[in-house]
């Protein structure tokens, strides 16, 4: 790391309405992902791999499982002041909760005053990617700007889905304009078919960040949002730099996944991100040992594939199967199973994501679906086969045909 003292803040208080029902009983950063992870693990792994050793996770909405995961999983030694700590909303500025991401930092300024860092790295908690923040910090210091915004290149046709950064023609590392989901975006000078989309990751000079959130807190018409209010204020004052992810070189990255980043804030994007994992040459590679994604390691036995009583063999094609799973005569294809899932004789799980301890009984079919933890699909029952039937049973069915079954539901025939 740079010689300057760097402090990490993970913004993890979001409600995650677009991921319902997966967020009905948990915060969005606590949603399981890729079998053995939680979404927050990607942000925390990137920060820790980058050399940050003082990191706080600001939580608020239904935070119990998130707080528990951080406390049980992210234990640094404590030597040299190292820690990852979950910090809930504390009502330090009155009887109110966080009213936005900038307000979350404003109400947590005691953390910065205690540690007195030079630089603060602020990241979201619900994106899937790899990034070396040390390289971004160095670029920020070199820029001389008050804030540096991480950006990823996206097709111009998708500009209306992101906050879009327009560059200063006189200085390609400075931000001239920041536009939220524009309909008429302008392509990059070196790639007219692409735009720079904000990744929701920022590097600030600490004193500049403190001043910015304090001034924002005095504005009654502000939404107190980092991307919607704080960054545009820096842009308007000519004090914002951009950091193109293409400048970032992560050890062990492949050409296929080098600049991967996905916002998994909707059911469709959450589902698609899992599909990115399972091919022989995955779009996002979980097996990069030079830049690992850390999570809690459960005390569980290996996954097992066995014959059932009729000698049908448990099989899996292009799938991820977590610890503790037993596939007994069932068949998996293009699917991800969380820990301790059971798939019984004659059952089929295709194009699906199944969370912890779900049970797919004999001759059941799960197709293009997401099953939350402890779901039971009874013998011969189906999920994702008949969307009208799924809706009648109260399941969420997206416009693209993904069926989502909430935690603990028993699916009958």
Q: Which residues are annotated as a binding site for alpha-D-glucose 1-phosphate?
A: 163, 180-181, 198
Q: Between β-strands 359-360 and 342-343, what pairing exists: parallel, antiparallel or unpaired?
A: parallel
Please check whether residue 391 is in contact with residue 399, taking contact to mean a CB–CB distance below 8 angstroms: no
Beta pairing partners, 377: 360, 411
Nearest residue to 321 (alpha-carbon basis) of 336, 304, 306, 299: 336
Per-residue tokens: 315: 């099989």
Per-residue tokens: 261: 């980043």
Q: Which helix (H) or strand (E) is 120 found in, with range?
A: strand 119-124
Maximal CA-CA distance, the chain: 72
- What is the Rg, in whole angstroms, of the alpha carbon atoms belonging to the chain? 22
Collect all residues with Cβ–Cβ distance below 8 Å to 388 and sequence separation of at least 6.
none
Please check whether residue 351 is in contact with residue 333, taking contact to mean a CB–CB distance below 8 angstroms: yes
Round to whole Å and give the CA distance between 160 and 158.
5
Round to whole Å and give the CA distance between 263 and 408.
26
Instruction: For residue 148, give the DSSP letter.
Output: E
Query: If you search the block for the tokens 């929701």, which residue do you land on?
Result: 200
- Sign of the CA dihedral running 33, 403, 199, 108: negative
Collect all residues with Cβ–Cβ distance below 8 Å to 113 and sequence separation of at least 6.
none
Round to whole Å and give the CA distance between 112 and 104.
13
Instruction: Kindly report the backbone phi and psi dihedral angles of residue 72, in degrees, each rounded to the nearest multiple of 5, phi listed first.
Output: -85, -30
Detail the DSSP E strand segments found in 256-391: 261-263, 304-306, 315-317, 320-321, 326-328, 331-333, 336-337, 342-343, 348-350, 353-354, 359-360, 365-367, 369-371, 376-377, 382-383
Per-residue tokens: 10: 């993970």
- Sign of the CA dihedral running 178, 182, 184, 186: positive
Annotated binding site: 163, 180-181, 198
């Amino acid at each position: 790391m740079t010689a300057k003292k760097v402090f990490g803040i993970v913004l993890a208080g979001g409600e995650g309405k677009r991921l319902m029902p997966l967020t009905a009983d948990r915060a969005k950063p606590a949603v399981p992902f890729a079998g053995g992870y939680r979404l927050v693990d990607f942000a925390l792994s990137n920060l820790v791999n980058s050399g940050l050793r003082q990191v706080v996770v600001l939580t608020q909405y239904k935070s119990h499982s998130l707080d528990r995961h951080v406390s049980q999983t992210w234990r640094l030694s404590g030597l040299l002041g190292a820690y990852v700590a979950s910090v809930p909303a504390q009502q330090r500025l009155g009887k109110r909760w966080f009213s936005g991401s900038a307000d979350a930092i404003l109400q947590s300024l005691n953390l910065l005053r205690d540690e007195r860092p030079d630089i603060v790295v602020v990241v979201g908690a619900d994106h899937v990617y790899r990034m070396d923040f040390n390289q971004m910090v160095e670029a920020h210091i070199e820029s001389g700007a008050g804030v540096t915004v991480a950006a990823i290149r996206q097709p111009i046709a998708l500009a209306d889905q992101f906050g879009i950064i327009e560059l200063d023609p006189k200085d390609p590392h400075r931000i001239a304009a920041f536009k939220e989901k524009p309909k008429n975006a302008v392509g990059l000078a070196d790639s007219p078919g692409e735009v720079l989309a904000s990744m929701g990751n920022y590097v600030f000079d600490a004193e500049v960040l403190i001043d910015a959130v304090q001034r924002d807190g005095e504005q009654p018409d502000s939404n107190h949002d980092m991307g919607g209010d704080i960054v545009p204020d820096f842009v308007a004052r000519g004090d914002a730099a951009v950091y193109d992810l293409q400048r970032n070189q992560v050890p062990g990255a492949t050409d296929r996944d080098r600049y991967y980043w996905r916002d998994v804030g909707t059911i469709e994007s959450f589902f698609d991100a899992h599909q990115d994992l399972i091919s022989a040459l995955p779009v996002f590679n979980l097996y990069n040992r030079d830049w690992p994604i850390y999570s809690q390691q459960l005390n569980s036995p290996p996954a097992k594939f066995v014959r059932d009583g009729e000698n049908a063999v448990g099989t899996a094609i292009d799938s991820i199967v977590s610890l503790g799973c037993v596939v007994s005569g069932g068949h998996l294809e293009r699917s991800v199973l969380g820990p301790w899932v059971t798939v019984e004789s004659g059952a089929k799980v295709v194009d699906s994501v199944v969370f912890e301890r779900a049970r797919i009984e004999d001759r059941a079919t799960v197709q293009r679906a997401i099953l939350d933890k402890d779901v039971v699909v009874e013998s011969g029952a189906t999920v994702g086969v008949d969307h009208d039937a799924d809706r009648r049973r109260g399941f969420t069915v997206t416009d693209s045909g993904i069926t989502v079954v909430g935690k603990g539901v028993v699916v009958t025939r």
